[in-house]
Structure 1
Amino acid sequence: MSFKDLQLNKPILKALAENKYENPTPVQLRTIPLVLEKKDVIVSAQTGTGKTAAFALPILQILFDRQDAPKKGKKIKALVISPTRELAIQIEENFKKYGKHTNLRTTVVYGGIPIEPQIERLNKGVDILIATPGRLLDLHKQDEVNLDYVEVLVLDEADLMLDMGFIDDVRKIERLCTREKQNLLFSATMPLKVTELAKDILNHPERIEITPHSKAAEAIEQVLYFTPKPKKIELALHLLRNTIKGNILIFRRTKYGVDKLEKTLKKNGYLVDSIHGDKSQNTRQEALQKFKDGQVNILIATDVASRGIDISGLDAVINFDIPNVPETYVHRIGRTGRADKQGVAYSFCSADEKMYLADIEKMLGEKIQVDESHPYPLHPKAKPEVHKKKGSAHKKGRKSAASKKNKKRWYQ
């Protein structure tokens, strides 16, 4: 089936053809007709399956007939809530790409940058708004955004939104919109809290599940290396010299870990940049752009980047640290092997991460293949490192010699 069969209009089909999109993906095929019928929808699908177009295309079609309102008179008729800035920017780019031949105006608002330019854009009139929860509520508090005319509300990556603690913000935003709106919820996984949110917000929704949420993309080859924690950097350098080539995304659990690995790789002559939560939005965008443009071929990131980064031609993902949440593993490796292209995910597991690995393999329903042909193996009987806090050198309740010496006493 082609996009023409989905009853999309000529300006949208023209934009799709220009971007060489010919056939809809399964999630688009099933979702677009239901959204056009104005039904509430709850969609569970892996990252990289084309979820953004599944809601962007029908929204552009629904609003197309009312696209020519005077610019100042434009009201926000579609609202897309996204958990991260990177994902919000990506969604806006897609709306602009698909709506190129329409007069519909799209803008994006998110925190971490000055609010004034965003207010300016909103005042010019907007049809479709993409927003992160915190910045949207700030703008609403300042009376700079009016949600009284929202006809379609999209909650994208709902599970990540709730994991990041946005549940109260999401409920508040939903209440600020009209009760008659159409609600679309998209999520990579369906934990209980997402199901409960859907129950509260959606009206008799149609459910679409494209793939079981626990299944990693089939186009991804997964390789596991057991290695001691202190040897991980040496293993990474060994593999980068001998095995892993091309565009590589490396995940670390902490910001400190990201910075440390970046310094080491730069010292060894690699073209590398990084993104994490402590970096400004502009710095993060620059790093991402350099990676997309090929100025650097290695990007190191915390899990803030494991969703919403759509990088075509990503050859490999390295899990430098095994994630402690099994679903995070699927989202991380889902950055490669997109759109039916082959990708490889390499994971480094130390002794204290074996329990995380067990949870991941249980969720996948299979063992990840182990590669033992490397110079930094983990001893089979290696035990997790135990970090003991250093206590005081003095006995409890006893003062130090210096303290006694300096103290003036009444009887001296």
Structure 2
Amino acid sequence: MDILKLLSRSTKQTGKNASGKGAVILPSAGTPANPQLFHDEVLESRGKKRKRGGEKVDVVKQGEEDDEVDFFASKTAAPKTKKGRRESGGEEESKKPETILDEPHLLDEEECRQILKSHRLKHTLLPSAKSQDKKVKKSKKGKADKKKSPSKDDYKQLYPQPLTAFADLRSTYRISGRLAENLATQGYKIPTEVQMGSLPLLLQPETAIKDVAELGGVSAVDLLAVAPTGSGKTLAFLIPAVNSIVQRRRLSEDKKHHGLQAIIVAPTKELANQIVNEAKKLSIGTGIKVVGMKKGMRVVEENEDTVQEEENSSDEEESDEDEEPKPSQKSKQPIAKADILVTTPLILLHALATKNPEKHAPMPSVKTLILDEADVLLDPLFRDQTLGIWNACVNPELRVTLWSATMGSNIEALASSTINERRRKLGLETTARVVRLVVGLKDSAIPNITHRLIYAATEPGKLIALRQLLHPTAKSADATQSLRPPFLVFTQTIPRAVALHSELLYDIPAEAGGSTRIAVLHSDLSDVARDQVMTRFRNGEIWVLITTDILSRGVDFKGINGVVNYDVPNSGASYIHRVGRTGRAGRDGGVAVTFYTKEDIPYVRDVANIIAASEKQAGKPASEASMQKWLLDALPKPSKEEKKKLKMHGVEARRSGLPSKDGKGDKMKISTKSGYERRMENNRKGAIQGSKRRAKEVEATAEDGGEESEWGGLDE
């Protein structure tokens, strides 16, 4: 037998085993070479007539692994594109930037179609205000016919220029040189799908689309972007915001002046703080000041109608003497110097409050409004606050961008109608239209994580299953995927999060860190306590973080290995955002485990459908899918009223978790023992370990001293 064939065969076998079940792939293992989620082979199926676009997409797919040389690469991958020139350095880098800036490389429409299709990007022009008015006709009875909706002809698909490399931001779209350096310093090389589809439109729509008349003849775009969790939406809206301010500051005489030009609204403080940190990284050396909104901060000039931030509080209404010194204190505080303001809705709305509750102080200098997690901000919970901020931005050149991983048709219609209605009031052209960008399948979970739906029957069953996952070598129910720390645990309410934390406090051995490895985070904690928990979790000091939906949206934990839904989420969108905390930026190996009991069976269907759609996107065969068709058909379908109640209040049985007269509340409690029993048991274990340690120390000293030392002690 040929020895070379034997050696090659054994090598292939070991490689196959390494990439199979034996290999452990975790999101915390490191940064992937390619952060993109979709890599459909569309270009190869269409032939190789146009190689320019094909070579460029191959560079985007393969990526560059930080100056590592691939000796087994094909010859077609050898020629460097503009991205390669920028990273090569030396004389080539110093000579070619000018030629690149003079002659930007643009793809033709067919190449754009192929690249956009291979990355599952879809740009759509939403119906304009005029087309919507035409569709509302009166019937013979004199009533408006509301059933008619815009036809397919009103939705026009676009094929703009895609961004195939971050180096093209400087060469083709003329962003600031300092901003381009900051992007290169942070290691951004390959754009994700949402960045590929949104940045050209937001930076230079006249370059991205040849016929600008399709957008209403405007030089800027209102964008509604729907992209999966962890796909880089924050960077996609920060780059245009920072670049536009830098370009304006170049033309201004007083370059040291800071005027509020962009507002970013986020639903939670954790997400707002994260956006501030990312914006500051991009603004290094540009002179742009990024500020996170705090209580009591002034952002507009004070006038006669301006009132205090907490004028309506009950404590101030009781005593007029306490109210008098507070206006003088606020008037002395200067207006915050900021170019970009990141805030939550309510705190900014308080700063804009006037004596007339229906009106707010205007912000004429704001030209960019960004709504991150827009579906929540336009939900009934935050809708009035968000629209109040939106209406306070009175600049005619205001451009609005909305971003989220889930966007219902009602939220989309509300955003589009608000933009069109604002244009009417300001007397602007109504021909301009909103562009919608959808990445992948709308309202679906990311395809690069593993979903597990586990039936635990009862509340004690869920607690036992979670304790099994805390074991270092624990695996999922089918024993195919391990779940390693760090991971997040989501509960329905704050009391349940606190109860689960106290129940699991002593489950991790003291040798591994004990109770310091488990923490809880919810909105009842102070801002300082929340910041400390977030910092410890990011530093790896906390392994298991129990929380509510406060951390389900937008917060980026790059090394999360898994997510555990201890309680079934209140909606399909909530499930998508929860499990999106793992598998960020194209990382594989994330696990999403969802426990459900008898009380959850009527509401599991939405979660099961999302899992089935995610597995279909990942290209998983129907025979290997965890959600079989018979299971989806067997699950009950909840009504609209049941979905609405679930979204507002969660599962009724575990809403309070307190003991009740009928005894149902006791079954929903997260406890097998009382807190006193758990504490005494932990103290008992510590005492036993201490006595064993002391006994070993006595034996060790006795062995060292021998018999003579004992008789010597007696003689003394």
Q: Provide the TM-score with structure 2 as the length reference.
A: 0.49
Which residue number corresponds to residue 351 of structure 2? 139
Q: Give 1:389 shift.
A: 5.9
Relative to 1, partners in 2 of residues 1:280 and 1:26: Cα closer, same or farther, differing over 3 Å? same
Tell me the distance in 2 between the aligned counterparts of 1:272 and 1:254: 18
Give the one of 224, 230, 238 matched to 1:48: 230
* C-alpha separation in 2, matches of 1:166 and 1:196: 17
1:228-267 paired onto structure 2 within 5 Å: 228-241=458-471, 242-243=473-474, 244-267=483-506
* 1:369 partnered with 2:585: no
Name the structure 1 match of 2:286.
102
Residue in structure 2 matched with residue 160 of structure 1 by the alignment: 376
C-alpha change, 1:211 and 1:122, in structure 2 (3 Å) is farther
The 3-state SS of whatever aligns with 2:524 is coil
1:225-249 Cα offsets, whole Å, 9 max, x none, are 2112222122111121141322111
Q: RMSD across aligned C-alpha pairs, in angstroms? A: 2.7
Give CA-to-partner distance per residue, 1:133-178, whole Å, 9 cap, x none: 1000111127998621111111111112233611111111111112
The answer to whether the aligner puts 1:355 opposite 2:355 as a matched pair is: no
Q: Distance in 2 between matches of 1:74 and 1:281?
A: 28
**1:308 maps to which of 554, 559, 566:** 554
Rounded to whole Å, the distance in 2 between the matches of 1:385 and 1:80 is: 35
3-state SS in 2 of match to 1:183: strand
Q: Which residue of 2 aligns with 1:115?
A: 296
- Amino acid aligned to 2:485: G
Q: Judging changes above 3 Å, is the alpha-carbon distance between structure 1 residues 164 and 97 closer, same or farther for their aligned structure 2 residues?
A: farther
SS at match of 2:167: helix
Structure 2 residue aligned with 1:405? none
TM-score normalised per structure 1: 0.84
- Counterpart of 2:166, as a letter, is F
Is the contact between residue 449 and residue 591 of structure 2 (CA under 8 Å) also seen in structure 1? yes
User: Is 1:390 matched up with 2:661?
Assistant: yes
Question: Do the aligned partners of 1:326 and 1:356 also contact (CA within 8 Å) in 2?
Answer: no
Secondary structure of residue in 2 paired with 1:274: strand
Q: Distance in 2 between matches of 1:13 and 1:60?
A: 11
Equivalent residue of 2:342, what SS? strand
Letter in 2 for 1:177: C
From 408, 416, 423, give the equivalent of 1:199: 416
What is the aligned counterpart of 2:203 among 13, 31, 36? 36
Rounded Cα–Cα distance in structure 1 between residues aligned with 2:187 and 2:223: 27
User: Could you say which residue in structure 2 is the equivalent of 1:380?
Assistant: none
Answer whether contact 2:183 2:282 (CA < 8 A) is retained: yes
1:335 corresponds to which of 548, 562, 581: 581
Seen in structure 2, the aligned counterparts of structure 1 residues 97 and 142 have a Cα distance that, compared at 3 Å, is farther
Amino acid at match of 1:390: K
Partner of 1:374: none
Q: Is the 8 A contact 1:317 1:332 kept in 2?
A: yes
Q: Which has the higher helix share?
A: 2
* Distance (Å, rounded) in 1 between the aligned partners of 2:352 and 2:441: 37
Once the two structures are TM-superposed, the CA of residue 121 in structure 1 deviates from its matched residue by 9.3
Task: Indicate the structure with greater strand content.
Answer: 1
Matches within 5 A, 1:71-82: 73-82=257-266
* Unpaired stretches in structure 1, ≥5 consecutive residues: 371-383, 392-412
Q: Deviations over 1:346-389 (max 9, x none)?
A: 1111111122211211344459738xxxxxxxxxxxxx997996
- Which amino acid letter does the alignment assign opposite residue 175 of structure 1? N
Q: Deviations over 1:89-108 (max 9, x none)?
A: 11111111111121011111
Cα displacement (A) at 1:27: 0.6
**1:2 and 2:248 are equivalent in the alignment:** no
Match of 2:352, SS state, is helix
Distance in structure 2 (CA, Å) of the matches to 1:185 and 1:141: 24
Q: Is the 8 A contact 1:72 1:124 kept in 2?
A: no
Gaps of 5+ in 2: 1-163, 205-219, 300-329, 420-431, 475-482, 508-513, 616-624, 628-650, 663-716
What's the secondary structure of 1:225's corresponding residue? strand
Say if 1:31 and 1:385 are closer, same or farther in 2 by CA, change over 3 A: closer
State the secondary structure of the residue aligned to 2:264.
Answer: strand
For 2:525, the aligned partner's letter is K
For 1:255, the aligned partner's letter is I
* Higher RCO (CA < 8 A, seq sep 6+): 1
Q: Does residue 18 of structure 1 match 2:185? A: yes
- The change in CA–CA distance for 1:193 and 1:174 in structure 2 (over 3 A counts) is same
Aligned to 1:376: none
Q: Secondary structure at the match of 1:56?
A: helix
Asked if structure 1 preserves the Cα contact closer than 8 Å seen for 2:194 and 2:231, the reply is yes
Instruction: Answer whether contact 1:72 1:123 (CA < 8 A) is retained.
Output: no
In structure 1, the residue corresponding to 2:275 is in which secondary structure? helix
Q: Aligned pair in 2 of structure 1 residues 124, 161: CA closer, same or farther (>3 Å)?
A: closer
Mapped to 1, the partners of 2:298 and 2:435 lie a distance apart of 38
Q: Given the superposition, is the C-alpha separation of residues 171 and 238 from structure 1 closer, same or farther in structure 2, using an over 3 Å criterion?
A: same
Corresponding residue number in structure 2 for 1:403: none
What's 1:407 paired with? none
Contact 2:379 2:411 in 1 (8 A): no
